[in-house]
Amino acid sequence: MGGVSETLAALTIDALAAKFRAGEATPSDAARDYLARIEAHDPSIRAFMTVTRDVALAQAAEADARFKAGAPRGPLDGVPIALKDLFCTRGIRTACGSKILEQFVPPYDATTYQRLRGAGAVLLGKLNMDEFAMGSSTENSAYFTTRNPWDLDRVPGGSSGGSSAAVAGALAAATLGTDTGGSIRQPAAFCGVVGLKPTYGRVSRYGMVAFASSLDQAGPFAKTVADTARVLQVIAGADSMDSTAAAVPVPDYLAALGGGVKGLRIGIPREYFIDGMDPEVEQAVRAAVEVLRALGAQTEDVSLPHTEYGLAAYYLIGPAEASSNLARYDGVKYGLRVSGRDLVEMSSKTRAAGFGREVKRRIMLGTYALSAGYYDAYYGQAQRVRTLVARDFKAAFGRVDAIVAPTTPGVAFRIGEKEDPIQMYLNDVFTIPVSLAGLPGISVPAGFTRQGLPIGLQVIGRAYDEAAVLRVAHAYEQATDWHTRKPALEAVSR
Partner 1 sequence: MSADGAKQSDGKAGAGDTGYETVIGLEVHAHLLTRTKMFCGCATAFGAPPNTQTCPVCQGMPGSLPVINRRAVEFGIRAALAIGCRVNLQNRFARKHYYYPDMPKNYQISQYEEPLAEHGALEIVLGGVTRSIGVERLHLEEDVGKLLHEGELATARSSQVDYNRAGVPLMEIVSRPDLRSPEEATAYLRALRAIVVFLGVCDGNMEEGSLRCDANISLRERGATKLGTKVEIKNMNSFRNVQHALEYEVRRQARALETGERIVQETRLWDPEHLRTVSMRSKEFAHDYRYFPEPDLPPLDLPAPWVEEIRAGQPELPAARRRRFVEAHGLTAHEAELLCQGRGLADYFEAAVRAHPRPKAVVNWVLNELLRELPGDDDRAIAACPIPPASLGGLLALIEDGTISGKIAKDVFEKMYRSGEDARTIVAREGLTQVVDTGALGAVVDQVLAAHPQVIEDWRGGKKAALGFLVGQVMKSTQGKANPALVNRLLGEKLPKL
Stretch that binds partner 1, among 157-165, 206-214, 286-294, 405-413 (CB under 8 A): 206-214
**Residue 197 annotated as catalytic:** no
One-character DSSP codes across 279-293 = HHHHHHHHHHHHHHH
Interface pattern 344-363 for partner 1 (x via CB under 8 A): x--x----------------
Query: Of 159, 160, 323, 347, which one is the catalytic site residue?
Result: 159
Burial annotation 52-66 (CB, 10 A radius, 16+ → b, else e): beebbeebbeebbeb
Shorter beta-carbon distance to partner 1: residue 246 or 256: 246
Least distance to partner 1, CB of residue 96, Å: 7
Give the integer Cα–Cα distance in Å for 309 and 389. Answer: 8
Shorter beta-carbon distance to partner 1: residue 120 or 201: 201
Least distance to partner 1, CB of residue 372, Å: 5
Residue 381 interacts with partner 1 (CB under 8 A): yes or no: no
Shorter beta-carbon distance to partner 1: residue 206 or 482: 206
Stretch that binds partner 1, among 40-48, 56-64, 82-90, 291-299 (CB under 8 A): 82-90
Position among 22, 69, 71, 372 found at the interface with partner 1 (CB under 8 A):
372
Give the integer Cα–Cα distance in Å for 164 and 137. Answer: 11
Nearest residue to 226 (alpha-carbon basis) of 439, 22, 13, 443: 13
Least distance to partner 1, CB of residue 311, Å: 20
**Residue 159 annotated as catalytic:** yes
Q: Specify the DSSP class assigned to residue 472.
A: H
Burial annotation 16-50 (CB, 10 A radius, 16+ → b, else e): bbebbeeeebbbbbbbbbbbebbbbbbeebbbbbb
Q: What are phi and psi of 179, to 5 degrees?
A: -130, 120
Centre a 10 Å sphere on the Cβ of residue 341 and count the other Cβ atoms it contains: 8
Secondary element (H or E) of residue 411? none
Interface pattern 302-341 for partner 1 (x via CB under 8 A): ------------------xx-xx--xx-x-xxx-------
**Residue 240 annotated as catalytic:** no
Least distance to partner 1, CB of residue 178, Å: 11
Give the integer Cα–Cα distance in Å for 192 and 157. Answer: 11
Shorter beta-carbon distance to partner 1: residue 434 or 444: 434
Stretch that binds partner 1, among 154-162, 210-218, 294-302, 306-314 (CB under 8 A): 210-218
Residue 409 interacts with partner 1 (CB under 8 A): yes or no: no
N- to C-terminal Cα separation, the chain: 12
Interface pattern 83-122 for partner 1 (x via CB under 8 A): ---xxx-----x-x----x--x-xxx-x------------
Position among 84, 205, 386, 462 found at the interface with partner 1 (CB under 8 A):
205
Residue at 406: amino acid letter: P
Least distance to partner 1, CB of residue 425, Å: 21
Query: Of 136, 137, 160, 183, which one is the catalytic site residue?
Result: 183
Position among 9, 35, 176, 209 found at the interface with partner 1 (CB under 8 A):
209
Nearest residue to 321 (alpha-carbon basis) of 164, 200, 429: 200
Secondary element (H or E) of residue 131? none
Residue 210 interacts with partner 1 (CB under 8 A): yes or no: yes
Shorter beta-carbon distance to partner 1: residue 78 or 318: 318
Give the integer Cα–Cα distance in Å for 39 and 138. Answer: 21
Give the integer Cα–Cα distance in Å for 286 and 371. Answer: 44
Residue 206 interacts with partner 1 (CB under 8 A): yes or no: yes
Interface pattern 223-262 for partner 1 (x via CB under 8 A): -----------------xxxxx------------------
Position among 65, 294, 343, 492 found at the interface with partner 1 (CB under 8 A):
343
Burial annotation 211-229 (CB, 10 A radius, 16+ → b, else e): bbebbbbbbbbbbbbbbbb
Least distance to partner 1, CB of residue 158, Å: 19
CA dihedral 330, 324, 94, 444 (to 10 degrees): -160
User: Listing from the earlier edge strand, what are the strands of the sheet with 402-406?
Assistant: 48-51, 122-127, 80-84, 174-179, 217-222, 194-197, 441-448, 454-460, 402-406, 265-269, 298-302
Shorter beta-carbon distance to partner 1: residue 19 or 93: 93
Q: Specify the DSSP class assigned to residue 115.
A: H
Query: Of 28, 84, 126, 160, which one is the catalytic site residue?
Result: 84
Position among 54, 275, 342, 481 found at the interface with partner 1 (CB under 8 A):
342
Least distance to partner 1, CB of residue 72, Å: 30
Give the integer Cα–Cα distance in Å for 180 and 211. Answer: 8
The count of chain residues that interact with partner 1, using the rule CB under 8 A, is 45
Least distance to partner 1, CB of residue 214, Å: 4
Q: Which residues bind partner 1 (CB under 8 A)?
A: 86-88, 94, 96, 101, 104, 106-108, 110, 205-210, 212-214, 240-244, 320-321, 323-324, 327-328, 330, 332-334, 342-344, 347, 367, 370-372, 375, 379
For the annotated catalytic residues, the residue numbers are: 84, 159, 183
